[in-house]
Each structure stands twice: as C-alpha cells, then as structure tokens.
Amino acid sequence: MMKMKGIWQKFKGLMPEGLKDFPHYAEGPERYSLLRKNFVFIVCATAIIPLLLMAAINYYQYQSALKEEIVKPLSRLITSTKHSLELFLSERESTLRLLIRERTFEELSNQGRVNFIFQSLRAEFPEFVDLGLIDSAGLQRSYSGPYELKGKNYRDQDWFQEVQLRGVYVSNVFLGYRKFPHFVIAIKRDTVEGDFYVLRATIDTEKFNQLISTISLRPGSDIFLIDREGVLQTPSRSHGNVLDKVSLSVPPMSQEAVITRTKDEHGEHLLGYAYLRGANFILVLIKEPGEIMAGWFTLKSELLLVLVVSVAVILIVSLRATGLLVDRIREADQKRESCYIEVEHTAKLASLGRLAAGVAHEINNPLAIINEKAGLLKDLVEFSEEYHDQEKLLSQVDSILRSVNRCREITHRLLGFAKRMDLKVETIHLNELLQEVLGFLEKEAFHRNIKVNFNLAPDLSPIAHDRGQLQQVFLNIINNAFEAVQDGGNITIATKANETDPNTVEVTIADDGRGIQPDDLKHIFDPFYSRGKEQGTGLGLSISYGIVAKCGGDIRAESKVGKGSTFTVVLPQKCQMA
C-alpha cells in the first residue's frame, strides 16, 4: 500500500503542472489548454506505457529465445569437442604411464628394448613419433625415433623442470620431424631409492586436427586450438596456419564453455572457447552471426518501427480527440453561461415583479383613502354654497385628485408588470392590449414628438393568450421601434385577421427609422445580439420570439436601411401551450 502510494507520488511528479490540482484553481480560458494538456498526458501515459512495456518484454523474450537457439548448441559443441580432445590427451598419457610403471629403469635404458616397445606402441598408436628415457640428471639414456637424441642432456630445459615438479608435462605444439607439427608428453616415475626417471614421447598433431575437423561448420565459422600466448596449435580456416599468432586476444581462463560477442576486422561474430584440462590448449570456436542473427537485427528495427508508428498514431489520435473533446466542453460551457445569464435575467425580473406587486398593493389602499378624503373635501365645498375662497380650494382639491390618478396609473402599471411573471391564459382583445402597452411609452412619444398611428381592425376576434407575455412581446417590439426612429418619426401599429389562416391574427409594427443591416437582420432573434452596446442585454427580441414561438406563432422582420423596419407578429387564436 505504501509502495503504491510512492509510485503514485512519483507518477504525479511526472504530470504536467496543473493536473494535480485540477480543476480547483483553473478558471478562464487557460483552463481549456490545461484540460487539453492533461487529457493528452493521461491518454498517452495509459496507451504508451503499456506499449513500451510490451515492446521491452517482446525484445527480451526474443533475445532469450535466440540465446537458446544459438548459444546453447555452440556451448554444447565446444564442450563435447573439449571432452574428446581431453580424452585423446589422457589416453596417450595413460599409455605412457602404463609403460613406465610396467618396465624397470634398466629395461627402459636398454636401447634394444626401447626399440621393441616403440614398435609395438606405433602398431597401436601410429601418431607416436618417438619414445625415449631420460634419467634424473637430464641425460637421454635411450631413444627410439627419427632423431639422433641419445646422449642429449635436458637438465636445464624448462619442460624438465616442470615434469620434475608435476610428474607429467604436455608441451605446446612445435614443428618437428619433416616439418610436421608435434607436441611432447613426458611422465616421471620415482624409484624406491628416491631417484626418478622420465619417459618422453613426441606425438603427431594430425590426429588432433582430425578430431577438430570432423566438426562440420558453416562457411565463415572456424574452430582451432591455441596456446596461452595465442599461437595456433592446429590449422584454422581463416585465422592462419599452425604456429601463427592469431589476431584474437587470449580469452580469460575458463574450464567451462563461454560464448561471447566480439568484433574484429571481419565484423561482429560469436566467440566460444574453453580451456583444456591438463594442457596449455584453449579450444576456440568462431561463428559468423549468420542468418539467425540477421533475423534478430531486422526484428529489432521492425520492432522499433512499429513502436514509433504506434506512438505517433497514439499521439495524433489523442491530440485530435482531445481537441475535439475540449472544444465540445468549451461550447457546452458557453451555452451554459448564456443560459445562466438568461435565467438570472428572468429571476431578476420575477423578483422585481414581486416587489413591484407588493409596493403597488400597499400603496393602493392609502391612495384610495386620499382619494376619498379629497373627494369628500370637494363634495363638502361644492355642496355648501356660502364657502369663501371656494374656487381656490376646489383647484387645490382637483390637483390632489389628479395626483391620485397619476399614482393610480403607476400602481396599475406596476401590477400589470408583476402579473407578467406568471403565465395565465385569458381572453384578450389585442387592440386594447396594444393601446395599453403604448401607455407605457406615451411620455416618451410625447417628448420626442413621435407620432403613433393605430390602424386596428375593429372586428378583431379576441384571442386566448397570457396577457403579461403578450404585453412583453409588444413592449419589446414597440420599444425597439421607438429606439429606431428619430424624434418626430412615425410608428404604425396595425392589427388584422390573417387572410390565409383564419385561426391566426396578425399584428404589424412599422417604423420609418434607420432600419437594420441585412447581416444584423439574420441574427436579430439570436440571444445576446444587440445592435448597440448601450442598448440593453440583447435578449428582448429573442425572449419575444421565444414567447410567440412557444404559443405556435411567429415573428418576422423586414427592414430596409434608412427606410425603416416592419415586424409582423402572427398569433394563433389560442396559445397552443395552454
């Protein structure tokens, strides 16, 4: 568990900045690039890490399989060859040991006996070249062979020192009789008197060569013996002849077969070797990498290619997918934000409506009292004839009553506004509703000298809709018309039954204002689309359109720049939402 935690901490350390704490602090546009980075990182990490792992496992598995296939047979070959060579040596050694043990010193010193023994030895082992006895002083006492060695003294020679110490000696190969490569085996025997003598024989290496050359090798491969100085003891295919020095460095001591990879001027190859027991020989096997190794190299590059391509594909796909995803998230965020604004706006209007209703209602009662008190005052003055300053008083009372009426207008309007908040379908006379709506704008029309013409169909049938919402729709459109026209402009509001569809009525609001650019006209019902920055939220027409469309109606806008705009609202007889 603790270990897992540690790994997680390390993994976190690798993560790009911001992933660890996401999304607590990321706000604003940079959060999308951060999101993108994080997604890409996670996708890549989860896809590429297993891929790399798999590639690595594959690599090592194949490598070990190759080892089985190449290295094992080589090492078996070396081991078996080494054994047969060792067997050959020990057989010759045993033969000599048997000779020296079975015969007395006197017998072996006798030249005639030695000649006889050598003859029978040659009959059995033809590779023996000569045989002779040397006494403890190093003097050749008897000799049978092609050289004239009898009487030679070996006292000061290295091999004689060594055979005294070890009891047996196997020499390196040298060129001897008729320039054939030979080597020497010497065996010491101690006498009861504390003296010793040595039996020495020379052996032709031809048999050696035969043992090695029986091994069938592919062309380019090689097998041979060297001594500890790197001098060839047997001929080789491509590394020189007997007693040449090989270009290889002498490998370190090992009785067991060792396979390594080396490089020389011929290129890379496998080198196998083993030290022979009881002699200074090293068996060396050189094998060209060959087809299997070539396969290994192609596999390595193929593996790398697949890996690189896969990683590239993962990167591209994750980048593209993440880009798409983040763009979608950004879009969704934008939509949500605009929704928030709309909802906020609606909520604001609703609470404002409730406030307005409360205020209007509370003011209405005292207003009624003022109305009645002032009225009573007026009545009292009017009904009693003999009141002085009657005119002046009546004008004061009338002023109060006018003010009360103004207040009443205001509270009615406030209550009308509040009422818009809850949807309630009722019977509506559109003509009256339009005049009512204009009531809100009368003051502005008056001040700016805007002429509002009504062209209302007198026999328009009533429709079933929510009064408040319709008020809002027309207030928005007429308000826009007021904004579009200059002082002294004209606005015409017309109603008529639709000729094509008798179940709908049509209201047109036309102005002779500055008009709308064709580009703007396309977006006029989009939320937050406002012709001027100072002109409100840009929600008015979109809300209006929403209300009308919800009821199964439609709003159309036509406009010519500089000539004016016409908005046509088509309403069904009955709001289809209700």
Beta-carbon contacts of residue 69 (< 8 Å; ≥ 6 apart): 292
DSSP secondary structure letters along 425-460? EEEE-HHHHHHHHHHHHHHHHHHHT-EEEEE--TTP
Report the chain's C-alpha Rg in angstroms. Answer: 59
In the complex, the smallest distance separating the C-beta of residue 525 from another protein, rounded to whole angstroms, is 31
Euclidean distance between CA atoms 495 and 429, whole angstroms = 11
* CA–CA distance, 85 with 276 (Å, rounded to integer): 8
Site string (236-275) toward another protein, x via CB under 8 A: ----------------------------------------
Least distance from another protein to the Cβ atom of residue 460, Å: 20
Residues 380-419 that bind another protein (CB under 8 A): 380, 383, 404-405, 408, 411-416, 419
Neighbour count for residue 195 (Cβ, 10 Å): 12
Residue 319 or 407: the one with the smaller Cβ distance to another protein is: 407
* Site for another protein contains 360 (CB under 8 A): yes
Q: If we measure between CA atoms, which residue out of 515, 569, 577 comes closest to residue 552?
A: 577
The single-letter code of the amino acid at 16 is: P
Nearer to another protein, 375 or 546 (CB): 375
Mark the segment that binds another protein (CB under 8 A) among 237-245, 295-303, 356-364, 536-544: 356-364
Near another protein by CB under 8 A, which window of 66-74, 88-96, 168-176, 369-377? 369-377
Among 49, 308, 324, 368, binds another protein (CB under 8 A): 368
- Residue 574 makes contact with another protein by CB under 8 A: no
Closest approach of Cβ 401 to another protein, in Å?
9
Which residue of 370, 438, 445, 464 would you call a contact of another protein, by CB under 8 A? 370
Query: Counting contacts by CB under 8 A, is residue 432 touching another protein?
Result: no
Q: What is the DSSP string of 391-436?
A: HHHHHHHHHHHHHHHHHHHHHHHHHHHHHTTS--EEEE-HHHHHHH
Window 8 to 67, contacts with another protein (CB under 8 A): none
Q: How many CB atoms lie within 10 A of CB 212?
A: 21
Place of tokens 């598995």: 61
The Cβ of residue 81 has, within 10 Å, a number of other Cβ atoms equal to 22
Minimum CB–partner distance for residue 371 and another protein (Å): 4
Q: For another protein, what does the binding mask look like between residues 135 and 154, x meaning CB under 8 A?
A: --------------------
Angstrom distances, CA of residue 341 to CA of 423, 477, 529:
21, 21, 13
- Assess 435 for contact with another protein (CB under 8 A): no
Write the secondary structure of 343-367 as one string of H (helix), E (strand) and C (coil): HHHHHHHHHHHHHHHHHHHHHHHHH
Total residues at interface with another protein (CB under 8 A): 28
Q: Which stretch binds another protein (CB under 8 A): 65-73, 115-123, 164-172, 377-385?
A: 377-385
- Residues in contact with another protein by the rule CB under 8 A: 360-361, 364-365, 367-373, 375-376, 379-380, 383, 404-405, 408, 411-416, 419, 424, 426
